[in-house]
Copies of this chain bind each other. A is one copy, B any other.
C-alpha cells in the first residue's frame, strides 16, 4: 500500500514528544554503553524503534499470507524481480514530496550516499529505465523503510512489507488496470478478511472537477489533500478547512461538496459524462470514459460487486496520472484507526478504516529516470500486508486451532534407554526418503517428554522403538491425536507414514 505523500499533519505537540522520546532513548543507550552500576557492560536488549522480530508463529502466518498472494500473482502470469534494500540517495530524491523527510539515510562512511528504499515503485521505475525495459508484468515482495511515527498495535511499523504487482507497457486502455483490480478482489476474497470494498477514481476526474468548480490551478494539490480526509472528517470540517485554511471560495467548496458525495458504478460515469459542467472539461471526460471502459472489463472479470466509483477518493502520491484505487475492509471487527489523525500519522495509513491495498496508474515515473525522458506507462497495486498480518494474528489467537510452526510428520522416539543409535539410524532412513522427521538430542529421553513434544508441536505421528520392536523388526506407530498405536514392519514404515500424512 502506498501511503500518501505531501500530507503529514504532525502536530507540534506529538512532534516534540517523539523528539524527547528519541533523545531519552539515545541517552539510555549511551548510559548502557558506559556500563551498569556494577561496572559491567550492559546491553539494551531490544529491536530498533518501530521494528519487530517475527517469532515462529508469526512467520507461519506470514508464510500462509504470502503463499496466497504469490499464488495469485503467479496465476496472473507475473515474473518477479528483486532490488537492493538501499538505493543511491539521488534515486529517491524528488519522488515523495514532503514525505521525503521520512527516508532513512545511511551514514557517509566514504563512498556513495545511500538511502533505504521508501517503497518498491521507485526502485521498479529505476530498474525499468536502467535496463531499458518497456514492458513487463512483475511482482515484488520486500521490506520498505519509513521514519514514521510507529503505531505497532495497529500494524504501522518503520520496517514493513509491501507486496507490489505492476504492469508496465504500452497497451490498450484499462485492460491492465482492470486486471490489477481483479487481483485485489481475488486476494482479499481468498484471505477471508471479511467484507471489503474497492474504491476507484481517476486523477484526471479530480483535476477536471477542481477546474470546473473554480479551484485555481495552483490549489489543486492542496485541495486534493483536504478531499482525501473525507473518510475520517465530516464534510462540514473538510469544507471549513478548504475555506478557512486554504482560502477557497465558499461557492467552489459547495460545488466540490456535491461531486465528492457521489458514488456509484458505470451509471455514475455515464451520468457525469452528461453533466453540463464536467463534460466541458477535456481531462474529466477522458477520465470518465476510461472509468466506463474499466467497469465494462470489471464486469467480464466478475468483480463489480465490490468496486465503487467514488469521487471522494484522492490518493496523495505525486506520481499518479490516471486511475487510482484503494481497497478497504468494511466489516465490523477491524481494529479502528480513528485516532491516527491525532498521532501525526501520514494520511494514507489512516485514510480508510481498514485500508489494505492501493495503487493506480503512473505513466510519468519511469520517464523521470530516462536520460531522454522516454515514458513507460505503468499501473500497479500494493497490498498492505502488515494490516493483514495483524488481522490474521488476531484471528489465529481467537481460534481454537493451533498454529503449527514446523511441518514435522514423525518424531522418532524410544521407550527404553540406550537406543540413541537406533533412533538416529531410523531418522536417517526417513530423512533420506523425504519424510519430515526429528529426534530428541538426548541419549536417553523419557518417552513422556518425547510424546509431550509432539502434542505441543502438533506432530501427528510418533515412530516408537523398543527392544521388543527391534527384535520383531517392527516400529510402533502412534497417532498422537487418538493415541492409537499399531506395529508396522520396518519394510512398510515409509509407505505407511506417507499414506497417513498425505491423508491429513
Partner of A424, one of B130, B297, B407, B431: B297
Distance in angstroms from A215 CB to nearest chain B CB is 29
A361 interface hit (Cβ, 8 Å): no
Specify which of B29, B51, B75, B107 is in contact with A105 (CB 8 Å cutoff): B107
- Contact A112 B26, CB 8 Å, known A46-B88, A424-B301, A441-B172: yes
Given contacts A26-B112, A74-B406, A441-B171, contact A44 B302 (CB under 8 A): no
B406 touches A111 (CB 8 A): no
Which residues on B sit within 8 Å (CB–CB) of A104? 106-107, 109
- Scoring A33, A59, A176, A369 by chain B CB atoms within 10 A of each residue's CB, the highest score goes to A59
Interface residues of A in 383-442 (CB under 8 A from B): 405-408, 420-421, 424-425, 428, 431-432, 434-439, 441-442
Contacts of A406 in B (CB 8 A): 74, 77-79
Q: Is A56 an interface residue (CB 8 A)?
A: yes
Whether A90 touches B369, Cβ cut-off 8 Å, given contacts A22-B110, A51-B84, A111-B25, is no
Which residue of chain B has the shortest Cβ distance to A143 in the bound complex?
A: B85
Tell me, yes or no, whether A80 is within 8 Å of chain B by CB: yes
**In whole angstroms, how far apart are the Cα atoms of A419 and B425 in the complex?**
63
Contact residues in B for A495 (Cβ distance below 8 Å):
none
Asked if B75 and A169 sit within 8 Å, CB to CB, the answer is: no
Instruction: Determine whether A19 belongs to the interface, using a CB cutoff of 8 Å to chain B.
Output: yes
Give A189 Cβ to nearest chain B Cβ, in Å: 10
Whether A80 and B107, one on each chain, are in contact in the complex, defined by CB atoms closer than 8 angstroms, is no
Nearest chain B residue, comparing its CB with the CB of A444: B172
Question: Does A186 lie at the interface of the complex (its beta carbon under 8 Å from any beta carbon of B)?
Answer: yes
What residues of B have a CB within 8 angstroms of the CB of A110 in the complex?
19, 22-23
Contact at A32–B90, with CB atoms within 8 Å? yes
Contacts of A89-113 to chain B: CB distance below 8 A? 90-91, 104-113
Asked if A300 is at the interface of the complex by the 8 Å CB criterion, the answer is yes
Given the complex, which residues of B lie within 8 Å of A51, measured CB to CB?
84, 86
With beta carbons under 8 angstroms apart, the residue of B77, B80, B420, B437 that contacts A59 is B80
A48 x B84 contact (CB < 8 A):
yes
Tallying the copies of this chain within the complex gives 2
B408 and A77 within 8 A (CB): yes
Q: How many A residues are at the interface, by size bracket? A: 35 or more
Per a CB cutoff under 8 Å, which of B47, B107, B441 touches A106? Answer: B107
B43 touches A91 (CB 8 A): yes
Contacts of A129 in B (CB 8 A): 45
Q: How far is the CB of A106 from chain B (nearest CB, A)?
A: 6
Chain B residue with the shortest CB-CB distance to A176: B441
User: Given A108-B107, A172-B442, A300-B428, do A26 and B113 touch, yes or no (CB 8 Å)?
Assistant: yes
A112→B435 contact, CB < 8 A = no
Question: How long is the Cα–Cα vector from A63 to B47 in the complex, in angstroms?
Answer: 29
Across the interface, do A29 and B431 meet the contact criterion of CB distance under 8 Å?
no
* Across-interface contacts of A143 in B (CB, < 8 A): 85
| Contacting pair B29 A441 (CB below 8 A) | no
Q: Which A residues are closer than 8 A to B by beta carbons?
A: 19, 22-23, 25-26, 29, 32-33, 42-49, 51-56, 59, 62-63, 74-88, 90-91, 104-114, 116, 126-127, 129-131, 136-138, 143, 145, 147, 159, 167, 169, 171-172, 175-176, 179, 182, 186, 297, 300-302, 368-369, 371, 405-408, 420-421, 424-425, 428, 431-432, 434-439, 441-443
Taking A55-B131, A175-B442, A300-B425 as known contacts, 19 extra A-B pairs with beta carbons closer than 8 A to each other, sorted by chain A number, are: A22-B112, A26-B113, A43-B368, A43-B369, A48-B114, A51-B86, A56-B138, A63-B80, A76-B438, A79-B406, A84-B159, A105-B107, A105-B109, A106-B107, A167-B441, A169-B441, A175-B424, A175-B441, A179-B441
